Structure 1
Amino acid sequence: MHKPLVLILFMLITATISKAQSADEVYDRYLDFNLARLQGEEDKATDLAEQLMKDTLKLAPKVRVNFYNSAAKLYEDGSQSVKAIELYERVVAAQPQYYVAHRALGYLYLKNIPDADKPLDKPSTNQDYIKTVKKSLPQLEKAQACDADENTLTLIKTLYKNIGDSAALASLDNRLKTLQKGCIDILSD
């Protein structure tokens, strides 16, 4: 009777140790990824990021968010906007007050709109344009509220005019004041 109990206990301990080692190995790869990024080894960092993607659940939640943010920046700098957007969206979902990711998302969403920052003669009726602008604006507003930038503010105002949303433009200052609360500019792990 004691043998089955001892065997089950042994299996549980072995599984726990194996899992802990696996998480440690993933964390070590995360450290290698950060080192490669800091040393300017973009190709190596990209390879390590791809390897880490399938094991991110083994990282602690805050470390995972940091990894997503760092990998997103790496992809953004490497002109891989689609991958960067996906990861920045994960960052914003986990840390909604981290305005740096909001700013990146706002500009990345607009990346495929030529001359997005140029005023139009009349409000656009292009539904794809309007949809993209409406997706970008909340991101840009959060970034603007937390870290005021004249260029971003001008872009926000231009986009509202370009989609003909004068009501949202008129209430912009109030929204920015509300969005200022709880801004985070550095992620901790």
Structure 2
Amino acid sequence: MKKTVLFNFFLLLGISTAFAQKQDIKELYFDYTQSRMNEDQNAATVEKASSLLSRSAELNDKQVANVSFHLARIYESMGKPEKAEPLYEAVTKLVPGYYVTYTSLGFINLKKCDTLGRKVSEAAKLKDAALHAIAFKAYKIQVLKTIPYFEKSEACETDERTLGILTSLYKSIKDTTSLASLPERKALLGKDCVSLLDDE
């Protein structure tokens, strides 16, 4: 009985996937836009969005960006940042000015900073200079990767929390010079900000 149920499940899944591949791309995109408006249909949205991305050549760049962003948001809400991150990165390349994506990437990477930061603290407690140097190097690399995301976000929408994060990150790697020149970079980064991710 159990084998029969599993067989039927995979059969239906296969049929559903095959249908999505053959379905008219405009109809599939419309179905996706409808399902993503309802959080109760996240599973269906993931399936439709994944099918759309597998046929990205049939979509325009804005549609690919839209699908990638919303799929990333769902993955993030499911506690799967490792799946969300590359999708967010894809959006930054397609719509460089859409700063909401940078905010999301900033927080995903900030968690990595926190994890590596704890290793730096642990090495310091052990008074192990060699281990501390290795841990701090890894931490600094991650911090330098994280900062640009928050700088873009802050440039497009000034926020005390974001500014506080940037200040803390710069001070943690003892780079007060870059912190002091932040206003200049914000002026440049804020020139192409996009607040809405349309698909037309």
**TM superposition score category, shorter chain reference:** 0.7 to 0.9
Q: Deviations over 1:22-43 (max 9, x none)?
A: 8972232222222222122111
Does the CA contact (< 8 Å) of 2:170 and 2:178 recur in 1?
yes
- Label 1:89 to 1:161 Cα distance change in 2 as closer, same or farther (>3 A): same
Higher mean C-alpha displacement, 23-32 vs 156-165: 23-32
Q: Match of 1:33? A: 32
Alignment of 1:115-130 (within 5 A): 125=133, 126-130=136-140
Kindly report the root-mean-square deviation, in angstroms, between the aligned alpha carbons of the 2 structures: 2.5
Distance in 1 between residues matched to 2:81 and 2:104, nearest whole Å: 10
The 3 A distance-change label for structure 1 pair 166 and 148 is: same
Change (3 A) 1:37 1:167: same
Provide the C-alpha distance between the structure 2 equivalents of 1:70 and 1:144, rounded to a whole number of angstroms: 22
Instruction: Give the conservation status (yes or no) of the 8 Å contact 2:53–2:64.
Output: no
Alpha-carbon spacing, 1:156–1:23, altered in 2? closer, same or farther (3 Å): farther
Unaligned runs of 5+ in 1: 1-21
Q: Return the letter of the residue paired with 1:169.
A: L
Q: Distance in 1 between matches of 2:22 and 2:149?
A: 33
Distance 2:28 2:61 in 1: 16
Q: CA offset at residue 51 of structure 1?
A: 2.4
Structure 1 residues 44 and 160, CA, compared in 2 at 3 Å: closer, same or farther?
same
Mapped partners of 1:35, 1:167: distance in 2: 48
Q: Secondary structure of 2:113's partner?
A: coil
Query: 2:158 aligned with 1:148, yes or no?
Result: yes
**In terms of mean alpha carbon deviation, does 144-153 or 73-82 score higher?**
73-82
How far apart in 2 are the matches of 1:81 and 1:137?
18
Give the TM-score normalised by the residue count of structure 2: 0.74
The aligned counterpart of 1:9 is none
Q: Give yes or no for contact 1:145–1:177 (8 Å, CA) kept in 2.
A: yes
Q: Which has the higher helix share?
A: 2
Deviates more, 1:26-35 or 1:164-173: 26-35
Give the TM-score of the pair, scaled to structure 1. 0.78
Percent of aligned pairs with the same amino acid: 31
Q: Is the deviation greater in 107-116 or in 75-84?
A: 107-116
Residue 44 (structure 1) aligned with residue 44 (structure 2) = yes
Amino acid in the other structure paired with 1:34: T
Q: Are the equivalent residues in 2 in contact too, given 1:117–1:158 (CA < 8 A)?
A: no
Preserved contact between residue 72 and residue 83 of structure 2 (Cα < 8 Å):
yes
